[in-house]
């Protein structure tokens, strides 16, 4: 027999320290069934516990000692190990929203989501610790992402998507470290070593809800004396916890007020409501009563409805909607009509709100002592968890040589350790190098820097990632992510300077008159933030005619052997042929000479065959007419406008519409050119 089996004489000692009482049970596992051998329950004689938190350690020690000694006597053994659970009512839940600006060109990946979850959990932990009356640390015992958003729009799965901003709604649950410390203080003073530790809701679900049913959306409500604790299951795990400070004592106090009874007498009467049809008792002044249980229940019904309302609201708050079914455990779950009112509030069938007693627990055999009632679910759950799961309750790890202790209620990962360690999650995600903003032919462009190197995570020297599992004693080393190189772009990177076209077999560069801030640049110079780049691209037949200074209707123009119009696009390596129409060209020249003779005697500004008259920024402007039609960029040769001194976004409009440098202009056109600040 192994050493572990020799301790406690082969028994597992499970201890449930509650607000009103302490219950201890001894059990074993054989042939996949749990055998419960002995059970002892002792009530607190004073208020040593409040809402699941130990307030009087010595008072609790005395009650636990009585339970331990009684079990040792029954089993004729010495108990030196114990399995315990932290109260669900001690848990604190916070809902937090975290968002981050992201690279719009890069797909959202899992490391980014994990980094956001860490940041959200750290923010939630900070908020809870800030609100705490005592200065205490908290363990994160579970969390779930309720919703994802991209650019403020809700989305089911952000992985692989792109956007400017990603946002997460996170529901996180924390356990105060002092709750754990006080439980250990009690057990250590009784020379009991903690074999296993869990949370009460987790223990209760272990036996109250079969594993194959946890895929459903269910609510487990543990109704004790002072609080009602709620746990929500979905997709095989607990996704949320909640608590309301109203439970069985609220009903007892209502009986006290209505029938003038002390608390203990009212408690006994409440328990008896489900057992007897008629209740016989005397109040504190000695007046005897004989009242039907139905009449008493009707009298205290407002208090029962109030409790049902609070529990229902808590379920909906944590789950976001009504669950598929509700399981009630704990002594207060036996309150008459409570399940009926909860079903009505949640608008689900009454048969889907059920009280779970010991008789529903699967794979359990009761050997010596009969145990019954929903109040026994949690201690049996602690026993079952201890027998079925042999992992440590706490693990100790090292992050960059610093020691940390983690509460292990689930399979822990690197990200769980980083939450506790306070590691900055933004140091896990590589950042782009600094970007620059330039203007190219009047259009704003952002030139991005290079991507950096991701964080390096090693577990015991082996390369890992943020989702890797960790275990007791692991040595974790993290090197933060590196920022990428800043944006480095030359003109050659931005403009196709090597593009060429062929006109009647002769090669012509497609890019002309390239300037940076109004000056001729060196092609290998790097662009700087705020630079204004301007150039003319021969990308249409019209722009080609302007460059060659020819009249388009005096030629037959073909692009790649096909007849072209003025607006036909020209791309790299295109072959253009120009064939002169002699008769049309001669007729145009004769008309030009006639117009020059007719206009030679006029001193006023007017449109001639050799010029065009336009309105530029509200003033008339006469510019020479080229042999081919004039284009927008020609204006800058005849007006005082410094494009090199960038003072905002350059705005170009032609007849009220946005213009480009190669737009055709004619007499009568209205043009505006200005900096938009």
The burial class, CB within 10 Å (0-12 / 13-18 / 19+), for 76 is exposed
The whole-angstrom separation of Cα 157 and Cα 125 is 25
Task: Tell the residue number behind the tokens 């809800």, with chain if given.
Answer: 209
Question: DSSP assignment, residue 482?
Answer: -
To the nearest 10 degrees (0 to 180), the angle between helices 338-346 and 301-319 is: 40
The burial class, CB within 10 Å (0-12 / 13-18 / 19+), for 100 is middle
Q: Are residues 501 and 593 in the same domain?
A: yes
Q: Are residues 504 and 595 in the same domain?
A: yes
**Positive or negative torsion for Cα 156, 162, 166, 171:** positive
Question: DSSP assignment, residue 235?
Answer: T
Does residue 645 lie within any of the structural domains? yes
Does residue 23 lie within any of the structural domains? no
Question: DSSP assignment, residue 513?
Answer: E
Q: Are residues 501 and 481 in the same domain?
A: no
List strands edge to edge, sheet with 138-150.
Answer: 92-101, 165-176, 138-150, 153-155
Give the H or E element holding residue 252. helix 248-259
Does residue 66 lie within any of the structural domains? no
DSSP code per residue over 361-430: -TTEEE-SS---SGGGHHHHHHHHHHHH--S-SEEEEEETTEEEEEE-SS--BHHHHHHHHT--GGGGS-
The burial class, CB within 10 Å (0-12 / 13-18 / 19+), for 642 is exposed
Nearest to 230 by CA among 330, 360, 95: 330
- pLDDT of amino acid 200: 83
Q: Are residues 479 and 499 in the same domain?
A: no
The Cβ of residue 334 has, within 10 Å, a number of other Cβ atoms equal to 22
Give the H or E element holding residue 168. strand 165-176
- Up-side HSE of residue 259: CA atoms within 13 Å toward CB? 31
The whole-angstrom separation of Cα 12 and Cα 29 is 9
The whole-angstrom separation of Cα 552 and Cα 544 is 10
Residue at which a domain ends, from 450, 485, 520: 485
Q: Are residues 643 and 583 in the same domain?
A: no
The whole-angstrom separation of Cα 596 and Cα 592 is 6
- pLDDT of amino acid 413: 85
Q: Are residues 421 and 471 in the same domain?
A: yes
Residue at which a domain ends, from 599, 621, 641: 599
The whole-angstrom separation of Cα 478 and Cα 400 is 7
The whole-angstrom separation of Cα 411 and Cα 125 is 20
Q: Are residues 619 and 565 in the same domain?
A: no
Using an 8 Å Cβ cutoff, are 34 and 47 in contact?
A: no
Does residue 516 lie within any of the structural domains? yes
Which residues does 506 contact at the CB level (< 8 Å), separation at least 6? Answer: none
- pLDDT of amino acid 258: 93
The whole-angstrom separation of Cα 411 and Cα 390 is 13
Total count of domains within the chain: 3
Does residue 470 lie within any of the structural domains? yes
Q: Are residues 556 and 517 in the same domain?
A: yes
The whole-angstrom separation of Cα 436 and Cα 444 is 11
The whole-angstrom separation of Cα 329 and Cα 316 is 18
Tokens of 486: 């800043």
Tokens of 17: 């320290």
311 torsion bin: left (phi>0), alpha (psi -120 to 50), beta (else): alpha
- pLDDT of amino acid 600: 44
H-type helices in 478-553, by residue range?
491-494, 541-548
Q: Are residues 633 and 657 in the same domain?
A: yes
- Whole-angstrom distance between the N-terminal and C-terminal Cα of the chain? 84
- pLDDT of amino acid 582: 61
- pLDDT of amino acid 50: 63
The burial class, CB within 10 Å (0-12 / 13-18 / 19+), for 667 is middle
Does residue 412 lie within any of the structural domains? yes
Q: Are residues 533 and 571 in the same domain?
A: yes
Q: Are residues 410 and 501 in the same domain?
A: no
The Cβ of residue 607 has, within 10 Å, a number of other Cβ atoms equal to 15
CA torsion angle for 80, 81, 85, 86 (degrees, to 10)?
A: 60
Mean pLDDT by 10 residues, the chain (677 residues): 51 86 88 86 75 75 92 91 82 86 87 88 85 72 82 89 91 82 88 84 82 85 86 80 86 93 89 89 92 93 95 92 92 90 96 83 69 79 80 76 76 83 84 89 87 89 88 90 88 84 89 86 84 89 82 83 89 90 54 48 48 84 76 82 75 87 82 85
Does residue 257 lie within any of the structural domains? no
Looking at residue 632, which CATH number applies to its domain? 3.10.20.30
Q: Are residues 503 and 579 in the same domain?
A: yes
Domain that holds residue 643: 611-676
- Up-side HSE of residue 222: CA atoms within 13 Å toward CB? 30
The whole-angstrom separation of Cα 85 and Cα 229 is 14
Nearest to 441 by CA among 536, 547, 526: 536
Does residue 97 lie within any of the structural domains? no
- Up-side HSE of residue 334: CA atoms within 13 Å toward CB? 18
Using an 8 Å Cβ cutoff, are 87 and 382 in contact?
A: no
- Rg, the chain, Cα only: 41
Backbone angles phi, psi at 114, to 5 degrees: -60, -40
**Positive or negative torsion for Cα 334, 336, 340, 343:** negative
Indicate whether this model's pTM tops 0.85: no
Residue at which a domain ends, from 485, 500, 531: 485
Tokens of 217: 């959306």
Identify the three-state secondary structure at position 632.
Answer: helix
């Amino acid at each position: 027999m192994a050493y572990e089996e020799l301790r406690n004489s082969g028994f597992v000692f499970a201890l449930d320290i509650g607000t009103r009482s302490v219950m201890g049970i001894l059990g074993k596992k054989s042939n996949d069934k749990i055998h419960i051998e002995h059970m002892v329950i002792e009530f607190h004689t004073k208020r040593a516990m409040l809402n699941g938190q130990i307030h009087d350690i010595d008072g609790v020690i005395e009650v636990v000692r009585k339970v331990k000694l009684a079990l040792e006597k029954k089993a004729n053994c010495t108990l030196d190990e114990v399995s315990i659970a932290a109260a669900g009512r001690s848990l604190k839940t916070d809902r937090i929203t975290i968002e981050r600006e992201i690279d719009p060109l890069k797909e959202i990946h899992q490391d980014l989501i994990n980094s956001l979850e860490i940041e959200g959990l750290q923010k939630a932990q900070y908020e809870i610790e800030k609100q705490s009356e005592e200065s205490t640390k908290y363990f994160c015992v579970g969390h779930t992402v309720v919703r994802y958003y991209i650019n403020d729009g809700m989305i089911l799965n952000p992985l692989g998507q792109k956007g400017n901003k990603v946002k997460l709604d996170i529901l996180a649950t924390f356990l105060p470290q002092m709750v754990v410390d006080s439980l250990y203080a009690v057990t250590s003073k009784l020379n009991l070593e903690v074999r296993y530790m869990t949370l009460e809701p987790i223990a209760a679900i272990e036996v109250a809800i079969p594993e194959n049913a946890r895929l459903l959306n269910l609510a487990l409500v543990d109704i004790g004396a002072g609080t009602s604790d709620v746990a929500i299951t979905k997709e095989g795990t607990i996704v949320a916890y909640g608590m309301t400070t109203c439970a069985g004592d609220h009903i007892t106090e209502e009986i006290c007020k209505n029938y003038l009874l002390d608390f203990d007498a009212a408690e006994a009467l409440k328990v008896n409501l489900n057992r007897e049809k008629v209740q016989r008792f005397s109040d504190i002044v000695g007046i005897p009563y004989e009242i039907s249980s139905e009449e008493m229940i009707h009298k205290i019904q407002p208090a029962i409805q109030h409790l049902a309302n609070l529990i229902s609201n808590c379920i909906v708050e944590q789950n976001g909607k009504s669950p598929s079914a509700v399981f009630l455990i704990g002594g207060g779950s036996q309150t008459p009509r409570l399940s009926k009112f909860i079903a009505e509030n949640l608008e689900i069938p009454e048969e889907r709100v059920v009280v779970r007693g010991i008789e529903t627990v699967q794979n359990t055999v009761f050997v010596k002592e009969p145990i019954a009632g929903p109040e026994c679910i949690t201690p049996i759950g602690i026993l079952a968890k201890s027998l079925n799961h042999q992992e440590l309750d706490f693990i100790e790890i090292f992050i960059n040589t610093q020691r940390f202790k983690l509460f292990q209620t689930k399979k822990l990962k690197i990200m769980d350790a980083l939450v506790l360690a306070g590691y900055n999650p933004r140091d896990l995600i590589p950042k782009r190098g600094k970007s620059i903003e330039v203007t190219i032919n009047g259009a704003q462009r952002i030139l991005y820097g290079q991507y950096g190197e991701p964080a390096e995570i090693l577990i015991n020297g082996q390369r890992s990632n943020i989702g890797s599992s960790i275990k007791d004693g692991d040595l974790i080393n993290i090197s933060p992510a590196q920022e990428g190189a800043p944006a480095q772009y030359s003109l050659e990177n931005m403009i196709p300077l090597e593009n060429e076209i062929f006109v009647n077999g002769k090669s012509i560069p497609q890019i002309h008159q390239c300037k940076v801030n109004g000056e001729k640049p060196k092609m290998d110079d790097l662009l700087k933030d705020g630079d204004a780049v301007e150039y003319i691209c021969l990308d249409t037949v019209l722009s080609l005619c302007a460059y060659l200074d020819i009249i388009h209707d005096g030629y037959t123009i073909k692009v790649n052997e096909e007849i072209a119009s003025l607006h036909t696009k020209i791309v790299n390596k295109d072959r253009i042929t120009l064939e002169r129409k002699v008769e049309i060209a001669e007729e145009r020249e004769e008309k030009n000479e006639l117009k020059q003779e007719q206009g030679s005697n006029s001193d006023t500004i007017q449109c001639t065959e050799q010029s065009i008259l336009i309105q530029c920024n509200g003033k008339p402007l006469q510019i020479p007419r080229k042999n081919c039609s004039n284009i927008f960029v020609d204006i800058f040769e005849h007006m005082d406008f410094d494009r090199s001194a960038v003072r905002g976004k350059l705005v170009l409009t032609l007849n009220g519409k946005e213009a480009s440098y190669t737009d055709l202009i004619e007499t009568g056109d209205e043009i505006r050119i200005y900096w938009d600040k």
